[in-house]
């Protein structure tokens, strides 16, 4: 005997409550499965690239910069490379997800479900963070085979890993929404992400920079996520950790608000 109370009743809209948790989780898992399906490209390849950076900079600068921040140059360099691998892959995940959906015309599959702009922002950004953390973990474990990596402050490491990945995930979403074709996305990468990454102090201590360049570095939010993450390993920071935490948090909040408004309004997504 069928005791289903809804048997024979006409179909009605599903009630989701204040937050569509099911839809948000489904979109998040779609983003995760998207990069896991090609894990050799999205997770394994960054390991090789990061190890090449480590080898090149160690061979080129190692004899000149034997010790930086009180530690060997390789120990100073390694955390920055891990962070850069994380955030660049977070950026790549969200930006490619949106621009591909727009170019292929299936962005409607994301806009049709009953999801608010805030829910889409959380789901897609979290997918980017998941890829960034996965890449960072694999890169760190692999790099630890070649470079001593001591954990000084787990809290700093986790905070800056999550917030840094979130920052680039949101930036990737903004770029993916704004871009109309892959050339536009390449411009964001080449003229925004890459310059800020290479000028963030990943490969050097900003204490060695001239005064004007030192001030520019302190105005770069990428510097604070690198500096705080590195401090979690070596116990030394070039800038104020408190200021860095505030800058990274505020930057994430601003980028999150912009992304939410763009998705909520359908900017360049709805014709």
> Tell me: the pLDDT tens digits for 64-103?
556 666 788 788 889 999 999 999 999 999 999 999 999 8
Q: What is the pLDDT of residue 205?
A: 80
pLDDT band at 6 (very low <50, low <70, confident <90, very high): low
- The mean pLDDT of the chain is 88
> Measured between alpha carbons, how far is residue 266 from residues 74, 78, 269 in Å?
46, 40, 5
pLDDT > 90? residue 166: yes
* Largest distance between two CA atoms of the chain: 82
In contact, 85 and 127? CB cutoff 8 Å: no
Residue pLDDT, tens place only, 131-165? 999 999 999 999 999 888 889 999 999 999 999 99
Question: What own/partner pairs with CB < 8 Å and gap ≥ 24 does 199-202 have?
Answer: 199/223, 200/80, 200/225, 200/226, 201/80, 201/226, 201/227, 201/238, 202/77, 202/80, 202/81, 202/83, 202/84, 202/226
Residue-wise pLDDT tens digits, 178-231: 998 899 999 999 999 988 988 888 888 887 777 777 788 888 999 999 999 999
pLDDT at site 252: 97
pTM > 0.75: yes
CA distances from 179 to 154, 185, 193 (A): 37, 6, 15
Domain boundaries, the chain: 38-265
């Amino acid at each position: 005997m069928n005791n289903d109370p809804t048997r024979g009743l006409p179909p009605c809209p599903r009630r989701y409550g204040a937050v569509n948790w099911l839809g948000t989780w489904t979109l998040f898992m779609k983003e995760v499965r998207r990069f896991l399906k090609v894990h050799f490209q999205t997770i394994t390849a960054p390991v090789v690239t990061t190890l090449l950076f480590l080898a090149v900079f160690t061979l080129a600068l190692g004899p000149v910069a034997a010790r930086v921040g009180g530690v060997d140059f390789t120990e100073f360099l390694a955390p920055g490379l891990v962070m850069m691998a994380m955030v660049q892959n977070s950026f790549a995940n969200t930006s490619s997800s949106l621009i591909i959906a727009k170019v292929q015309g299936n962005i409607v599959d994301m806009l049709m479900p009953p999801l608010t702009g805030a829910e889409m922002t959380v789901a897609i950004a979290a997918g980017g963070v998941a890829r960034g953390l996965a890449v960072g973990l694999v890169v760190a474990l692999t790099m630890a085979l070649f470079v001593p990596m001591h954990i000084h402050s787990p809290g700093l490491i986790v905070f800056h890993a999550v917030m840094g990945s979130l920052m680039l995930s949101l930036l990737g979403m903004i770029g993916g929404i704004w871009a109309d074709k892959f050339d536009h996305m390449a411009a964001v990468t080449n003229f925004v992400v890459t310059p800020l990454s290479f000028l963030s102090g990943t490969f050097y201590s900003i204490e060695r920079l001239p005064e004007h360049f030192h001030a520019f570095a302190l105005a770069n939010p990428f510097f604070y996520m690198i500096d705080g993450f590195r401090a979690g390993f070596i116990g030394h920071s070039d800038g104020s950790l408190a200021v860095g935490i505030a800058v990274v948090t505020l930057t994430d909040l601003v980028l999150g608000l912009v992304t939410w408004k763009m998705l909520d309004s359908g900017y360049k997504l709805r014709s």
